[in-house]
Amino acid sequence: MVNQQTAIYRILDANLDRAREGLRIIEEWCRFGLNDKETAATCKEMRQELASWHTNELRTARDTPNDPGTDLTHPQEVERESLQDLLQANLCRIQEALRVLEEYAKLYEVEFAGAMKQMRYRVYTLESKLLGQSRFKLLDQCSLYLVTSPVDNFFAVVESALKGGLKLVQYRHKDQDDLIKLKEAYKLRQLCNNYGALFIVNDRIDLAMAVNADGVHLGQTDCPVGLARQILGFSKIIGKSTTNPQEMAKAISDGADYIGVGPVYETPTKAGKKASGLEYVRYAQNNSTIPWFAIGGVDSNNIRDVIKSGAKKVAVVRAIMEAENPTEATKNLLKNF
């Protein structure tokens, strides 16, 4: 049995290596992929700070030949589905390593533990900047938002819309078992990744986290925006449905990243819900300080009226999900912007 002190030294040594390696991977993308000198320098500075704590005392405790963890792996580590996944995985790796260092360093050197805690917060900020930046930029650029509904050939319909230029998809399936929802959400996320589109999950924060979605969309009776932010962090997108000026104001003050404005027209998707009408669209145009999507019964027949009322972004359901040719339907809707 390894004595306690040696075991602690080995844990600190392994996690210092793990954190430094992860930071180097992030640094390389900032340097060569983003040409972001400032963020690359931040990564390098953190790597050097970690190196200053990586003493010979810790290094000499290393025993790689007898480490049972060297053969352990997981299928998700074998390949990455996208650059976003690669960055997310390594940011998580750094954060986990820093948390381990913070706790075990309390048994080694308290100042070391405090430094790791502060660095972990800096990595959270780095994560928000790197992953949130691209997500929010794409959100700003999206003029068409598809909210899914259960139809035959479900995945084929969504992929057909993605082929037509769609860049924002929300998975919404109210009446389905969780295991099926999980499988469908995971497959949709993969599809969206393949086409460079954002993927949002309706209502379910747990499901969004499980499939590493780009964010979540919340209704008025769902989890509060503030709590969702606490759970998901600042790199994920949080949307909120609103039906009147009061709900809009609250969603904005609570920190939503975008809002749904509607229902503009009566729709079976929101059965029994009175339409907010174009008047609310006009109100949003004059008062919303964050991106917003006109939603509710919007289709090819009325989209021009919605846009003339001030909408620069719209969300649709049946106009694509029930279209005979979803690719052409998507292209035709996009032509209006």
Average confidence score pLDDT of the chain: 92
Other CB atoms closer than 10 Å to residue 240's CB: what's the count? 27
pLDDT tens per residue across span 4-22? 999 999 999 999 999 999 9
Catalytic residue among 18, 93, 167, 172: 172
| DSSP symbols for 110-153 | HHHHHHHHHHHHHHHHHHHHHHHHHHHHHHHH--EEEE----TT
Mean pLDDT over 244-267 rounds to: 95
Catalytic residue among 241, 276, 288, 309: 241
> Is 183 annotated as catalytic?
no
> Is 270 annotated as catalytic?
yes
Any idea which residue has 């009061």 for tokens? Answer: 246
Catalytic residue among 236, 270, 288, 309: 270
pLDDT tens per residue across span 288-311? 999 999 999 999 999 999 999 999
pLDDT tens per residue across span 313-325? 999 999 999 999 9
Q: Is the dihedral of CA 227, 46, 8, 96 positive or negative?
A: positive
> Is 62 annotated as catalytic?
no
pLDDT tens per residue across span 37-79? 999 999 999 999 999 999 999 999 888 777 776 655 555 555 7
Asked if pLDDT for residue 184 goes beyond 80, the answer is yes
pLDDT tens per residue across span 108-159? 999 999 999 999 999 988 988 888 778 898 999 999 999 999 999 999 999 9
Report the pLDDT value the prediction gives residue 77, as an integer from 0 to 100: 54
Domain with CATH 3.20.20.70 in the chain: 142-334
Is the domain 142-334 a CATH 3.20.20.70 member?
yes
Structure tokens at 127: 């994560």
CATH of 4-135, one of 1.20.1260, 3.30.870, 2.160.20, 2.60.120: 1.20.1260
Report the pLDDT value the prediction gives residue 301, as an integer from 0 to 100: 96
